[in-house]
Chains A and B, each alone.
Chain A
Amino acid sequence: MLLRKAPDVRYSEITPRELYLRRREFLQGAAGVAVGAAAALSPLGVARAGAQAQGRAKLPNVKKSPLSTAGEKINSYEDITGYNNFYEFGTDKDDPARNAQKFVTRPWTINVEGLVKTPGPIDIDSFIKPHALEERVYRMRCVEAWSMVIPWVGIPLGDVIKRLAPLPTAKYVEFFTLNDSKQMPGLRVPVLDWPYREGLRMDEAMHPLSILAVGLYGEVLPNQNGAPIRLVVPWKYGFKGIKSIVRIRFTDKQPRTSWDLSNPREYGFYANVNPSVDHPRWSQGSERRLGEFFRRKTLMFNGYGDQVASLYTGLDLRRNY
């Protein structure tokens, strides 16, 4: 049951999160100036400094991408940021928007592990900086038979992987979400085997449509949508889009994924959107686009078949669901 309760304090009255997060900088004087200057050198840092007062920071130099999905009505910012499956912040759809408000996304480190040339930790801003930010409008199809159209801002995962230089023996890439129960109340409940983990075959990860998203609607990604960095693979069900990534591991074995571990009969490794393979609980033949009344037919590979179907030539998609 969803119990709805108005927030006690209006958002406009709350100290902007950015100011709150930077409170130590004010105290640290000179050190704070140095940290601030370093932050200002990265594109995200500039945006964050510039839009502190609003709390919603515009991202600079976002290119529109020809790989965006055209001809779809984009869902509202409110829908995209108010209706989330992010179990680390609670299992109700409106829990993440409420519980992720104070989530700290800077400093943030991504640990690169496994079969890769130079494993080790990378600061989020240096991780993103070598890449141009692109706007990618994608359909997002949840396994629960609803869908949205979302204007992500991100960087191509393939370019990131090339830069990280995995060894030729790497066949899969595995992702892990932050596992910090102090900040993420949902982790105190054993709903899934934490931390949340996901994986892709290397060719799926290298596909031009796969991105790591850092923004939404031209602005810094809201916490409830997986800040500071999350995966978006538009031809797969939404749960493949792992959020708040802290570890990336290259491996030669097919990784286990959270939902597959939780219920292997219902969730597999691939999780490609497929109207002809039913889920025991939801008919996958149709979906409701949020904002529309009538269901619409679900498209194979979420409508991205022309681009991605060749990845799965010869693979039995009924068995490899």
Chain B
Amino acid sequence: MTRFTVIRWTIFAAALVPAAALVYWLFTGNLTANPIDFITDWTGTTALVFLVLSLTVTPLRRLTGWNEVIKLRRMLGLFAFFYACLHVSTWMVLDWFFDIASMASDVVKRPFITLGMTTFLLLVPLALTSTAGMIRRLGRRWTQLHRLVYLAAITATIHFWWVVKADVREPRWYALAVVILLTFRVWWVWKPRLHSVH
């Protein structure tokens, strides 16, 4: 096994820890007095963590020259989608138990849920086109399509910010991370243009 294979499998195993922890807490009765709220928060936060991690791959690669790291990007992105799926299904099944009318009115009337659902819908096409075959078939358009992840990171962060009643310390960290990571992208787009002007 190469060193990189070890890194990849270590990250894969670590990425399953938040899900395993939920199962462990379920059986040890540690999901608080309000388990459904707890599971919702936990899966949502974990999804956001992986979304942010997937956005760190390219800056890390360009700043360090460690090219192999790009092979981790898809896995991190798919874990973000995996936890987002758990988050949305917790809401649909555990919280509302398929009460379609109430869920629909929540999506329409509550801005933070509107943004949460928007984020999820943005992630779906990205997950569906993450296979090698789709990357080949879509070519340049694949790159364009996957820029949607920038928007998803923004909507996910605002979603988290808006769900908090008053204490925005935690969402503020995610917002800071997203701003820094997206600033790299803006900089990389604008820097060559600035040079060409001179």
| Complex contact B32–A2 (CB within 8 A) | yes
| Complex contact A4–B25 (CB within 8 A) | yes
CB within 8 Å of B: which A56-94 residues: 75, 78-79, 82-83, 87, 91, 93-94
Question: Contact flags (1/0) for B73-98 with A, using CB distance below 8 Å?
Answer: 00000000000000000000011110
B: contact size bracket: 20 to 34
If the complex has contacts A82-B32, A281-B112, A283-B105, are A295 and B170 also in contact, measured as CB distance less than 8 A? no
CB within 8 Å of B: which A91-115 residues: 91, 93-94
| Complex contact A191–B32 (CB within 8 A) | no
Task: Specify the chain A residue showing the minimal Cβ separation from B48.
Answer: A1
Residues of A within 8 A of B170 (CB): 1
| Complex contact A288–B36 (CB within 8 A) | yes
Residues of A within 8 A of B68 (CB): none
| Complex contact A191–B166 (CB within 8 A) | yes
Closest beta carbon of chain B to A251's beta carbon, Å: 25
Closest beta carbon of chain B to A218's beta carbon, Å: 20
B162 close to chain A: CB less than 8 A: yes
| Complex contact B32–A83 (CB within 8 A) | yes
Residues of B within 8 A of A263 (CB): 166
| Complex contact B34–A189 (CB within 8 A) | no
Residues of A within 8 A of B150 (CB): none
| Complex contact A146–B110 (CB within 8 A) | no
A: contact size bracket: 20 to 34
Task: Specify the chain B residue showing the minimal Cβ separation from A279.
Answer: B110
| Complex contact B30–A4 (CB within 8 A) | yes
| Complex contact A290–B97 (CB within 8 A) | no
A52 close to chain B: CB less than 8 A: no
| Complex contact A146–B169 (CB within 8 A) | no
CB within 8 Å of B: which A222-272 residues: 262-263
If the complex has contacts A280-B111, A290-B34, are A87 and B42 also in contact, measured as CB distance less than 8 A? no
| Complex contact A294–B34 (CB within 8 A) | no
| Complex contact B41–A1 (CB within 8 A) | yes
CB within 8 Å of B: which A177-195 residues: 189, 191-192
Residues of A within 8 A of B41 (CB): 1-2
Q: How far apart are the CA atoms of A189 and B168 in the complex, in Å?
A: 11
Residues of B within 8 A of A282 (CB): 110
| Complex contact B33–A281 (CB within 8 A) | no
A278 close to chain B: CB less than 8 A: yes
Task: Specify the chain B residue showing the minimal Cβ separation from A262.
Answer: B166
Q: How far apart are the CA atoms of A285 and B34 in the complex, in Å?
A: 18
| Complex contact B166–A87 (CB within 8 A) | yes
Residues of A within 8 A of B45 (CB): 1
B70 close to chain A: CB less than 8 A: no
| Complex contact B167–A91 (CB within 8 A) | yes
A42 close to chain B: CB less than 8 A: no
Of A263, A281, A293, the most chain B CB neighbours within 10 A belong to: A281
Q: How far apart are the CA atoms of A2 and B99 in the complex, in Å?
A: 27
| Complex contact B34–A192 (CB within 8 A) | no
Task: Specify the chain A residue showing the minimal Cβ separation from B169.
Answer: A189
User: Among the listed A2, A83, A94, A281, which residue makes an inter-chain contact with B110, where contact means beta carbons less than 8 Å apart?
Assistant: A281
| Complex contact A278–B38 (CB within 8 A) | no
Of A93, A94, A262, the most chain B CB neighbours within 10 A belong to: A93
Residues of A within 8 A of B36 (CB): 288
Closest beta carbon of chain B to A144's beta carbon, Å: 8
B64 close to chain A: CB less than 8 A: no
Beyond contacts A192-B166, A283-B102, A291-B33: 10 other A-B pairs, Cβ-Cβ < 8 A, are A4-B25, A79-B33, A82-B32, A83-B34, A93-B34, A189-B167, A280-B111, A281-B163, A283-B109, A286-B102
A-B contact pairs, 29 of them (CB 8 A): A1-B42, A1-B45, A2-B38, A4-B30, A78-B33, A83-B32, A83-B33, A87-B166, A87-B167, A93-B33, A94-B32, A144-B37, A189-B169, A191-B166, A191-B167, A192-B166, A278-B109, A280-B109, A280-B110, A280-B111, A281-B110, A281-B162, A281-B163, A281-B165, A283-B102, A283-B106, A288-B34, A288-B36, A290-B34
List chain A positions with a Cβ less than 8 A from chain B.
Answer: 1-2, 4, 75, 78-79, 82-83, 87, 91, 93-94, 144, 146, 189, 191-192, 262-263, 278, 280-283, 285-286, 288, 290-291, 293-295
Q: Which 8 A-B pairs have the closest CB atoms?
A: A83-B33, A91-B167, A79-B33, A1-B45, A191-B167, A191-B166, A290-B33, A146-B34
